[in-house]
Chain A
């Protein structure tokens, strides 16, 4: 449990200098399994919340993790923060596997910060804005002479200006958007390199949502911050992300840049998600049949096949992959910046690469 001699403060900041392909934070084959509880009739077995995920976040990049509720987004975010220990695989930060000694975690958490879904709950109601923002500083440095200034700086960085007006307020005296800015300021005050945001705007109304997203983009541009944003909202992903990872039942099923994934989706699941957006334009909306699957009973073969519209319509049969869909699990996608999709049907005419015109087929 000895720590490395490197002080995180001395390590070079991975700022946006050059197109370094080296990811700053990555998940390599991360798996998380929970032992199922004793709910009557709930059945036994383990719930595989995250089931083999490779995902890279490069410096200065915003990656959106998209998927429906219960697909493992939040669990993956918690793993990346070291709040949850993966049952398999590793989290790699700056090329080194994450270690779970308490001092290692402390050093790590100085540099990777969390923004939670519910800003009301993530602020202690008994602490003023000043105290909540200064919390991280005090944890890592104790009370410093320039604390007040750094807190004010972080608050105005997060768009709360003038900061003096907010210092002595309590969370219940602020609006939802202001609370979320306080949370973001609390993360910024430590000069983190990566922000992990779990549904950062899900509980905010539409007007505030835009402001917070704008803030995240500005922070990326100005501070070179990387971010992983877990969301169920495809529009949000489209607006702020550089790359998108679509998650289904604990696995990333499609990965690529925003334009690639959202403008020309290859995986039937991504297509179904996009087709039901109000402004989807041409094409029939595809409503997925069946229950959202149970992570305790992952289907054999492709995990999406019981609900797959391509398989149901017989199109997969015509392409000659229907048996593969039912029996062979598509390989776990690699990370990296390439376009990848875990679908037998989409891969039928090449290996790994996707037909650019696949988006047109309905």
Chain B
């Protein structure tokens, strides 16, 4: 043993030269090294992900839906989506020409759904991003400084949490309606209105998880190693709250899509756009339920469910990749 260690001891001072040689000649800059390591981590991540079959199915379904939304202008004639340019008669049942029948104006329901995916997905994604980013930032900051920021940190933490509580007790819908009414009408407004109203739950969740992580010894070890607040939050807390954040994200996408349809229903959405929620709403006002026009009601609902399901599958797979323990037990 001691012979081995002596060898190491002799090695250490000359380590630089050995490093340059060992790494294939060219001196490696720290930044290039970091980039290479990151790329390697990404490759490893992709390899692990593809081993999860359910996650792969979810990802494929999601990409199919996203591709459909992206290429909708090629698949659907926009003129046929106007009330005046409707190609069929009202309430035609599904047929070869209209696979999902027609609505009360004679428009193809399939075309409406393909077109509607654009707004629904955009709002769902972006509103989720807004709320998850906001919620995670607030939650991690409040949790970290509350646990190990000293007296000043506790003040910061409680101020943040009181703001969160304030948003939490405000009725989400009322706040969203108020925001949507005040801000200029458009999809961007809907995204902000939804994003700003659903983040408090994420913040609370992330804060609770952060507190649990902060109590673990490796955080103290990191502090004893000289790590500052940023290091602890980015290096230790964030990776350990990511599963919670991902799970929350998958749920929020569905919530956001539904919230968008609710706002459309209340008339604060953009009436000129077609979204899944808007189609559902139009079907309801047209009396599709009572008159048994199932092809007008069910497809948009199924579309929402399909997107939510694919997100959940992806989220579960991501979680198992990020958490090495779950990966082992699969």
Contact = CB atoms under 8 A, between A and B. Distances in A.
A139 B232 CA distance: 10
B242 to A, nearest CB: 8
A160 to B, nearest CB: 11
Interface residues of A, number: 48
A135 B225 contact: yes
A57 B112 CA distance: 78
Interface stretch (B27-35, B53-61, B73-81): B27-35
B15 interface: yes
Contact of A149 (B1, B19, B216, B223): B19
Contacts of B28: 145
A124 B5 contact: no
Contacts of A183: 221
A148 B19 CA distance: 8
Contacts of A153: 8, 11-12, 15
Contacts of B5: 156-157, 218, 222
Interface string B212-223: 000011101111
B2 A126 contact: no
B24 interface: no
B226 A110 contact: yes
Contact of A125 (B16, B22, B226, B324): B324
A113 B221 CA distance: 9
B34 A121 contact: no
A105 interface: yes
A16 interface: no
Interface in B1-60: 1-2, 4-6, 8-9, 11-12, 15-16, 18-20, 22-23, 27-31, 33-34, 37
B322 interface: yes
A126 B239 CA distance: 7
Nearest to A124: B218
A139 B226 contact: yes
B231 interface: yes
Contacts of B12: 150, 153
Interface residues of B, number: 46
A135 B227 contact: yes
Contact of B34 (A143, A156, A159, A187): A143
Given A121-B216, A126-B324, A139-B231, A218 B221 contact: no
A274 to B, nearest CB: 31
B8 A106 contact: no
B224 interface: yes
Contacts of A159: 1
A161 B324 contact: no
Interface string A139-153: 110111111111001
A214 B325 CA distance: 32
B235 interface: yes
B15 A149 contact: yes
A299 to B, nearest CB: 32
A121 B222 CA distance: 12
Contact of B30 (A116, A136, A143, A161): A143
A124 B15 contact: no
Contacts of A135: 222, 225, 227, 235
Main secondary structure of the interface of B (DSSP, over half): helix
A355 interface: no
B184 interface: no
A124 B324 contact: no
A116 B223 CA distance: 12
Given A118-B217, A124-B239, A161-B4, A172 B19 contact: no
Given A118-B217, A159-B1, A218-B2, A146 B19 contact: yes
Interface in B136-189: none
A238 interface: no
Contact of A218 (B1, B222, B324): B1
Given A143-B34, A144-B30, A145-B33, A106 B226 contact: yes
Contacts of B227: 135, 139
A159 B323 CA distance: 28
Contacts of A127: 235, 239
A157 B5 CA distance: 6
A118 B33 CA distance: 32
B37 to A, nearest CB: 8
B218 A122 contact: yes
Contacts of B239: 124, 126-127
Contacts of A149: 15, 18-19, 22
A150 B15 contact: yes
Contacts of A156: 4-5, 8
Interface in A103-128: 105-106, 108-110, 113-114, 116-118, 121-127
B292 interface: no
Contacts of A150: 12, 15
A343 to B, nearest CB: 34
A325 to B, nearest CB: 39
Contact of A145 (B29, B225, B231, B323): B29
B211 to A, nearest CB: 16
6 closest A-B pairs by CB = A109-B226, A114-B224, A121-B217, A146-B19, A122-B217, A136-B225
Given A121-B216, A122-B218, A143-B31, 15 more contacts: A109-B225, A110-B226, A116-B217, A125-B325, A126-B322, A127-B235, A135-B222, A143-B37, A146-B19, A148-B19, A153-B8, A153-B15, A183-B221, A187-B225, A218-B2
Interface of A: 81, 83, 102, 105-106, 108-110, 113-114, 116-118, 121-127, 135-136, 139-140, 142-150, 153, 156-157, 159, 161, 170, 172, 183, 186-187, 190, 214, 218, 222-223
12 contacts: A110-B226, A117-B217, A122-B220, A124-B235, A124-B239, A127-B239, A145-B23, A145-B28, A149-B15, A218-B2, A222-B2, A222-B5
